[in-house]
Structure 1
């Protein structure tokens, strides 16, 4: 009796999980966290109107969700001044990245990203047999010029860039991204991940025609709209590319209540403004906590702050472990030299109080191990 016959590609892949979730960490430590500040979630919560809309929709969860996400796409298109044909809705940016890689990457195809950038994208590329070519960050920012040069050198089908960036929270102004788009090599597609665009300063979002075949922009309801668990994201691109998603996407992958909740959240612009204000306050608080402990916080255009621990990656990992041991869930960048930092999500005051209490103890314990 034999088991399933996996493909050669699957047999060659490690069993990899890009992120270990807080629930997994809680089970491993045998206790819940007192502060959940590690997953770039929006701890200030979604619009009450979105919660009410999802609660009302639950009675009809016997229905499949609208396979076209018509109402949500129509609302987004109207706000952005484009047509629904320029939009595809999917299971968060993660799901859309998987579909896009499946559309464009065959075994051996070159793909360009930054060393230490969003690992889920790399996970999808590996899953379809693509070859990753990486460039280093420059001054804690992704490096558009280096990404373009590597794409030209490798003949890449895809370039991945997040603006604002995860895991560092840094960002480029719109003009930098617009210049990058104009330098994309023929036959290459730029993926512009704008998951954190709702938190970014004015002048961050570039002016790019939705019909431009050189770029696809990805946005989400997980961050600014605080609906990470609902798994709703969307991509903006030329209609020919958007239509191609219908060849591979899970047409009933979108939860019906999530679609309805996302629409209500999108229409509640006052709540988004309150979230932005709360995040500004929390960002300043984390910066002050870092300063109080002799550390530097990175300027951030996201819903998290990277804090430089003042040593190397091993020291930061020790600080991280000590903070987690105190019941505060945070994360850190994976690759040097960015791994000298820990990364703290913005959150309510009580959770930041827990981080403020844990950090000095963690620094003391980590320093004692040196």
Structure 2
């Protein structure tokens, strides 16, 4: 609300109350014939209006006003009611002084009437302000929630799209083709694992969160496919505390890190790629040894950036990345759905 509008509404409130009290007390005709008292009434009305304006402005500048601080609403109520009651007292005193002692029945009771009307007006003002702030906060939270849900769906779509790349499918089918000619039994098992992998990618990829137990099953199935291709060149080691299995992570987070380790390193018999997954009650740590870097690999921009963005939607938890000459570490804190952003 602009300052000019606030001043105007404050004056309008005071003048409306003053007009009601004067009309109700039968003082309108007398006041019209008394110019000096008109100026005095206008003066005290102006002072009361400025008091309400500056007082309410100071209260609403408090940072906790928009958060619905109850003490500030009580203070606004007391300010409004006190100002209106005091204004009614001044108006009654002015009328009594102007009329004199001969007409004691005229102009009496303005303070009491003004206090009662001021009480009702103050309650209405506080209720309107509180309702407006509550509605604005509700609208803001609703819009933010809708944006977060949209961002989650977009990130999930991009994640799922990255998992279903033609490059991975081509390599897997090529491996299966070679196995059919050399080891039919292993080829059948490989194809079943490949189908299981795609099934769970689609099923779990559309979920925002998975339990650590589900994530480990997906990684184990994925590593079975990789072991057929790489053999002992790739080693997966797990150190998981049982109480951590029910904790939740963004869907496919661990598999994404395992894939990155395979994508950005070259495994060999002399320098095998070792991937270690450890978990306690607070976090999961995925680390891998660093071997010779592969040649430039095409990327569609999904990876740690996607993972960081998904973490941002669930509060203040952040992944941390550390790298040494020999190892690459990523810490994934568990996510608790009770504290979404």
User: What's the TM-score once normalised by structure 2's chain length?
Assistant: 0.22
User: What's the TM-score once normalised by structure 1's chain length?
Assistant: 0.20
Instruction: Give the structure with the higher percent helix.
Output: 2
Structure showing greater radius of gyration is: 2
